[in-house]
Amino acid sequence: MKILILGGTVFLGRYLVESALAGGHEVTLFNRGQSNPELFAQVEKLRGERGGDLSALKGRRWDAVIDTSAYLPRVVKESAELLADCVGQYTFISSISIYAQFFPGMDETAPLATLTEEQRIEAEKIETADHTSARSLGALYAPLKAACEQVVEEAMSGRSLIIRSGLLVGPHDYSDRFTYWPHRVAQGVEVLAPGRPDRLLQFVDVRDMADWIVRMIEANRLGVFNANGPDSALTMRELLEESRRLSGSDAHFTWVSENFLMESGATPWIHLPLWVPEEWSSLKHVNFDRALKAGLTFRPLSETVRDTLTWDSSRPSETKLQAGLTREREKELLDKWRNQN
């Protein structure tokens, strides 16, 4: 197959390319050439900008396109309408964060977030997708992603595959939302652990997601899929203990209550990745049975942790993590916790 990837050099994108190439497919990348341009020398690279110059895509044909890099509906509309007559299938990478409300067991039929009039005006001020990140969009992220899905479905007339992805983890995740924990545990000594040890986690190795998406494209699967993992219960304690085992560290864990963390100003998900308060817990437990039935599979946790540790250790020693507590802030919280107990 001829597969066009919009993006293709950062995290999920790079693994989609690797998976497609391993499957014998012909891959073309379209991006600005600013992130990891040295990757994939054997792949055709078209230069342009989402929300700007799409001229390199004109007059070409592909069997499928994977859109990994769009947040703004008008930007998605431009590429989807341009490619509607040039590709057989349009895969759009969305997010499980796009639902209006969260409740345990919710599936793909749950109502999606919508833009308020105030948010719509704010969104119109954002110029291009290439200079936009999920974090910078804040509360706009969910309704904008939902609107992007609608644009794709309208432009492609029943030829779209929408992947509502959960938290992706593994090597080359520069958000450090997962990496923080193997990294911190590997450093050893006392580690602040949030909430209950038996709190369930949901995430999926980015390589498993990429391989599954390529298989879905090969099979010309269409429709909407929540995609998350793992396929069996996984707790925070298990993640931390596996990180300790694989790193060989002397880490020991002090479990600190949610109320204390919230009262002390620790921000869920940012200061302590993978942790959210109990009342937000349904955010992390979206039903993804449809993806499982469609063949989504998972590698062992040990492989994800080990490979993340290996990649993390290859980064410069002065690398500042994008998520998680500093050692100074962690010590401050641990001392305060001990003093009140």
Q: What is the pLDDT of residues 115-165, one digit of tens each?
A: 888 887 787 777 554 445 555 677 888 999 999 999 999 999 999 999 999
pLDDT band at 279 (very low <50, low <70, confident <90, very high): low
Span 30-37, average pLDDT: 91
Where are the domain boundaries for CATH 3.90.25.10 in the chain?
Answer: 170-202+232-284+300-341
Question: Percentage helix, strand, coil, to 5, in the chain?
Answer: 40, 20, 40
Mean pLDDT for the chain overall: 92
- CATH code, 170-202+232-284+300-341: 3.90.25.10
Span 33-62, average pLDDT: 92
Residue 102: what pLDDT? 86
pLDDT surpasses 50 at 284: yes
* Backbone phi, psi, residue 226, to 5°: -70, 135
Residue 65, strand partner residues: 4, 90
H-helix segments, 37-99 = 73-83
pLDDT band at 265 (very low <50, low <70, confident <90, very high): very high
Q: Is residue 166 helix, strand or coil?
A: coil
pLDDT surpasses 90 at 87: yes
pLDDT band at 334 (very low <50, low <70, confident <90, very high): very high
Residue 238: what pLDDT? 98
Distance (Å, whole) CA 210 – CA 17: 8
Residue 275: what pLDDT? 92
- CATH code, 1-165: 3.40.50.720
Residue 209's nearest CA partner among 236, 229, 231, 235 is 229
